[in-house]
Amino acid sequence: MSDSHARPTWPQLGRDAAALGFAALTLVMASGLFFVDPVINRILHIGVGFVMLFAMRAVPRSGWRWPAVIALVTMVGVTAYALHLYPIAWQFVGLPPSRLEIGLGVAAILISLLAAWMVAGPSIPIIASFFVVYTLAGNSLPAPFSHAGLDIEQIVQALYVTGRGIYGTIAGVSANYIVLFVIFAAYLGQIGLIDFLLYKSRAVLGRTRGGPAKIAVVASGSLGAVMGTAYGNTASTGAFTIPMMRRSGFNPAFAAAVEATASVGGQFVPPILGGAAFLMVDILGITYNSVMLASLPLAILFYGSIFLMVDLTAVRQGIRSVPAQVRDEAPQDLLWGGWLKLLPIAVLIAMLVQGFTPQRAGFWAILSVMAVDLIETRSLGGVLRNLLRGLIEGAKGSAVIVGIVAAAGIIAGLTSTTGLGLVLSQILSQLAGNSYFLLLLLSAVTSIILGLGLPTIVCYLLMAVLVAPALIDAGVAPIAAHLFLIYFASLSSITPPVGPSNFIAATIAGEGTKPMAVGLFAMQLALPGFIIPMIFAYHPELLLQDGLTWQVLWSLLTAFLGIYALTAAQTGALLPGWVMSGAAPRVAVLAAAGLLLWPHAASDLAGIAVLVLAHVLVAARRHPVAEAAR
């Protein structure tokens, strides 16, 4: 009689051990029990993280096996020497690097490019290689792109020997924040938080029209507040929500688009924002609480727009609610209880509000997950199993981030060294002339195009260096400028023709669902969302940096009404459940949207009047939805 569970092989145990070691390193550094120099922390983070990544890729019958093995062995030497060199590097200031340091520095650069290729494809290595070539050839280029140029020794000095570049700011953001919160999310998944959110959303929203799509929106937003990643969010909730939407009558591509679009917002939903937000904190030198507060209105407007879109689409198409027997299909402990699973998130929010660093708050939130698990299971063995699984799965889940941060550090280091960011920022300002709107539009388009082939954090890094200075010089508040770029970099994950989230959602939808069709539906769903960054660029008070005032409330109200009017014009339906027949009402609500979204008090009042008039016009010749669809 064979064992139903195959025993792990030694290589599998080795990979799990590497992942567990990486997670343990992250938790120890987050605990604050020991003081470790920040650069030493980054060196260890990249070194141990790369060992884990290469161990995961060094599997039989894999094209990466031998490159991964060679890179793993080499990385041990690169890391060991970096740990030896950094504490004494001050003794060699002004001296060129030795031959050994040049060799190890070049190896570190090549390994960083290889790691990025393994986890994210060729885009990042190609861009990083371009910056290396640009740095080498600077004095041969025409103005305004020419610069003094650096040789290999100077590049190695900048990227490896000094503790910047590969071990710079981006590595620190990954070491201190991103990986910690990926582990936190994975551990919450082990104690059943994802199932809890999905079943609760279904029980509450399933009885409303278009309920399955609303469940996807709310569940993805709730999970995004914990995960902070579009791809993982799409895969986690999509497996549950997309089939349910299809069974309720939604087009498969539309169902996939709802999930993909809703999952994007996880990167700007508090309390855990995407990795780019942590990088933004470091670049601007502001508190995480400021970014978290500023992102709250954005998240409300974004998810409000998607919720309106699926509700009015359900009105137009007569999509029913989830059948009662399906709504109640859930384990009783999740349907009627399970609220304790939210305690770790409450702990995290409370500590952040009290002024604790995200690193320390994340550490204690992870400990609170253990406490919740012990209370619920009353089994120390079960708690330890869930802890180990959470740590291992979280560390493995962070491999994509770890794989790109060193290459991103190369890009950031060489961009600042050559001054390319200032040059491109000046060119962008010249193209826009004196037009504030054109500058915003060019910045948005650039961010989306760059983001088509890059993870959000890398796209944002480039935009923060290349574009943000132009926006700030034009009068955009620094926090608004950087959130503007993060927002559009995030939306690139659903923008065709690439749109990685669209591919994930299309795969789940099955039956030949085309990613391009998903992308086109996603663009329709997110159309109001593309306008939201423009709103807060013109209304920076919406970012709540000066508190909640009547002006903020008025701007938020008119922005939401404008988004509602635009959504109504797209779908041909109004919130009372009325279908608009004829062109006149749709033209009226579209005009109302334009007036409400135009940044002027008089146009706001005119827009409200036109929107009310449109409702009166539709009510006068109402075409009600069938009762069953209500």
3-state secondary structure of 624: strand
Give me the pLDDT at residue 76, please.
94
Rounded Cα distance, 247 and 181, in Å? 34
Query: Which two tokens mark 357?
Result: 């660093």
Look at residue 153 and tell me whether its pLDDT is greater than 50. yes
User: pLDDT tens digits, residue range 455-491?
Assistant: 888 888 888 888 888 888 888 889 999 999 988 888 8
Cα distance between the two ends of the chain: 56
Question: Per the structure block, which two tokens stand in for 410?
Answer: 């190369």
How far apart are the C-alpha atoms of 560 and 569, rounded to whole Å? Answer: 14
Retrieve residue 240's tokens. 């549950």
Say which amino acid occupies 134.
Answer: Y
Q: Is the pLDDT of residue 321 over 70?
A: no
Residue 574 bridge partners (DSSP): 578
> Mean per-residue pLDDT for 157-168?
85
Measure the CA angle with vertex 20, ends 18 and 25; round to 5°.
Answer: 95
Tell me the three state secondary structure of residue 582: coil
Which ranges of 288-342 would DSSP assign to H, the alpha helix?
288-317, 324-327, 332-335
What does the pLDDT look like over 12-39, one tens digit per residue? 888 889 999 999 999 999 988 888 899 9
Distance (Å, whole) CA 515 – CA 500 = 9
Closest C-alpha among 270, 416, 426, 296 to residue 348: 270
Contact predicate 308/300, CB 8 Å: no
Spatial separation of the C-alpha atoms in residues 98 and 348, rounded to whole Å: 46
Domain boundaries, the chain: 10-162, 163-547, 553-630
> What six digits make up the tokens of 133?
């070539």
Query: What DSSP line would sit under 46-78, residue for residue?
Result: HHHHHHHHHHHH--TT-TTHHHHHHHHHHHHHH
Instruction: List the one residue out of 259, 252, 206, 214 whose CA is nearest residue 235.
Output: 259
Q: What percent of the chain has pLDDT over 90?
A: 23
Q: Which of 305, 268, 282 is nearest to 483 (CA)?
A: 268
> Residue 578: helix, strand or coil by DSSP?
strand
d(CA 573, CA 442): 33
